[in-house]
Amino acid sequence: MAIFSMNISIVSKSNGKSAVNSSAYIHRSKFKSESFGETFDYSRYKQDEPIHSEILLPKNAPSKFQNPQELWNSVELVEKNSNAQLSRRIILALPAELSADENKSLLRDYVQSTFVDEGMCADMAIHFDQHNPHAHILLTTRPLTEKGAWGSKERKTYALDELGKRIPILDGQGNQKIGSHGRKMWKRELTESTNWNNPKNAEIWREKWANTCNERLKEFNTSIDHRSYKRQGLNIEPTIHAGYSRIRQKFNRTVMKSRDLMNGMVEELKVLKTQILAFVNEPEINYIDTFPADWTQLDIDHYCCDRDIAWSLRVQALNYDGVEPDEEYYLEFCKEYAPTPENLAKWKERNEREQQEKLDREQSEFQKRMLEQRPAEQSEKEKISEFTSKKLQRSRDDDFEI
């Protein structure tokens, strides 16, 4: 069923966006931004590749702009301001009743007559899925000159009064100022060189898209309306157009979390299997319950934690080299960490040494901070002493004058 959905937004530098990134995304390609110095790669998203992509250009545009990477790199290089608008982005739903070829023709006619004929360059891509057929359109925001170079977004024009006459610039006596070349000075103002940023355009573009679609949907006895339910006089609760891609993203996130959880469980089972086989083959190795009587539970927990971390790191290192530890390897590891008097003494000595090194490091940092503060305190004392001596000298001078 055909639905109306059109989202219009701006790709701007002020929020850290890149037009090259936006184009790479809708084309599911790998583009490099010369201005940002980054490479944006969306080529791995093969499950949602566009069935059709095309760039429509005005007659005065250079032919190299048929390459989207060339077009948007040129846009980003000419936009110097930190809050510059790089492109206008439109996402709209395509009628599900029309075939892929019919939607291509529909979109091309709409973009050509609405945007390209007005002087904009249009980069568009169609993602045709039976659940959510839609199109992405990226539009330039800076006009082109007749020679194909980027023009100015703003221009100076004469300010006009209510009667449509130019407003003079007056001096303090109320006379019109005269410029350096003997010319009269008139008030000027900056105006946009195009009307592309006019807020009223959104309504015009939305209505034109609805009318263009309805011409193709007559044979299906259905239509769409760009107006809200309230403006149509319908008592229907509006809904948010989530789109199939958003549902798929949520599903993919759930799948990825489940996959990560399963992979983690598999690795834990491998380690547990190795441990079980080791105990079965050599049950006399019991390195868990034979700690000295004078050890506290905290000492035991600390030792077991260090042992488990050491085994995990050992397994990761072996897996990185493509080796899976077997029960014989684990038996050797158990012997290394068996709580014999020698191993326990080494561990306790190492633990105490680490604690002492930590205390020494903290004390060294504290002393360093104190030394850094002393010059400031000394300088402050000198300032107070100097101020006191000057005040005392002034008091003596006053007494002398009396």
**Of 235 and 34, which is predicted with more confidence?**
34
pLDDT at 91 over 90: yes
- 122 pairs with which residues across the strands? 56, 139
Burial class (CB in 10 A: 0-12, 13-18, 19+), 141: buried
- Report if residue 382 sits inside a domain: no
Q: How confident is the model at residue 400 (pLDDT cuts 50, 70, 90)?
A: very low
One domain for residues 55 and 166 = no
Q: Give the pTM.
A: 0.56
Antiparallel, parallel or unpaired: β 52-56 and 122-127: antiparallel
> What is the pLDDT averaged over residues 329-336?
71
| pLDDT tens digits for range 169-182 | 888 888 888 887 77
Asked if 227 and 317 sit in the same domain, the reply is: no
Confirm if 30 and 23 have CB atoms less than 8 A apart. Answer: no
% of residues, the chain, pLDDT over 70 = 78
397 belongs to a structural domain: no
387 located within any domain: no
Tell me whether residue 124 is in a domain. yes
Give me the pLDDT at residue 401, please. 45
Do 24 and 98 lie in a common domain? yes
Apex 229 CA angle, 225 and 233, nearest 5? 105
CA-to-CA distance for 311 and 290, rounded, in angstroms? Answer: 19
DSSP character for 200?
A: T
pLDDT band at 381 (very low <50, low <70, confident <90, very high): low
- Residue 79 pLDDT > 70, yes or no? yes
**Same structural domain for residues 255 and 164?**
no
Band of residue 139 on the pLDDT scale cut at 50, 70, 90: very high
Q: Which domain holds residue 312?
A: 248-339
Q: Based on the domain organization, do 211 and 282 belong to the same domain?
A: no
Q: How far apart are CA 297 and CA 368, in angstroms?
A: 37
The gap between the terminal CA atoms of the chain, to the nearest Å, is 104
Q: How many domains does the chain have?
A: 3
Of 317, 339, 361, the position where a domain reaches its end is 339
Task: Examine the domain organization and report whether 221 and 109 are in the same domain.
Answer: yes
Q: Indicate the range of 229-243, 270-284, 376-390 predicted with least confidence.
A: 270-284
CA distance 264 to 266: 5
CA angle 398, 401, 402 (to 5 degrees): 90
Lowest average pLDDT, out of 74-78, 251-255, 311-315, goes to: 251-255
Tokens 């249009």 correspond to what residue?
122
Rounded average pLDDT over 147-158: 82
Average pLDDT value for residue range 334-357: 75
Residue 331 lies in a domain: yes
Per this entry, what is the length of the chain? Answer: 402
Quote the tokens at residue 102: 């019919």
Sign of the dihedral through C-alpha 175, 178, 184, 187: negative
The verdict on residue 25 lying in a domain is: yes
Mean predicted confidence (pLDDT) in 373-381: 64
d(CA 258, CA 130) in angstroms, rounded, equals 27
Q: What is the pLDDT of residues 254-297, one digit of tens each?
A: 767 777 777 777 666 666 666 555 555 555 445 445 677 777 77
142 and 160 share one domain: no
**In angstroms, rounded to a whole number, what is the distance separating the alpha carbons of residues 333 and 276?**
14
Which pLDDT value is given to residue 402? 41
Instruction: For residue 176, give the DSSP letter.
Output: B
Residues 139 and 159 grouped into a single domain: no
Both 274 and 183 in a single domain? Answer: no
Claim to verify: residue 223 and residue 294 sit in the same structural domain? no
183-204 pLDDT tens trace: 888 787 767 778 898 889 999 9
Is the predicted pLDDT of residue 65 greater than 70, yes or no? yes
Residue 258 backbone phi and psi in degrees, to 5: -65, -40
- Are residues 137 and 207 located together in one domain of the fold? yes
What is the Cα gyration radius of the chain? 37
Quote the CA–CA distance of 55 and 349 in Å, as a whole number.
Answer: 71
Q: Which residues pair with 306 in a beta bridge?
A: none
CATH number at residue 119: 3.30.930.30
CA angle 50, 51, 52 (to 5 degrees): 90
Q: Are residues 110 and 233 in the same domain?
A: yes
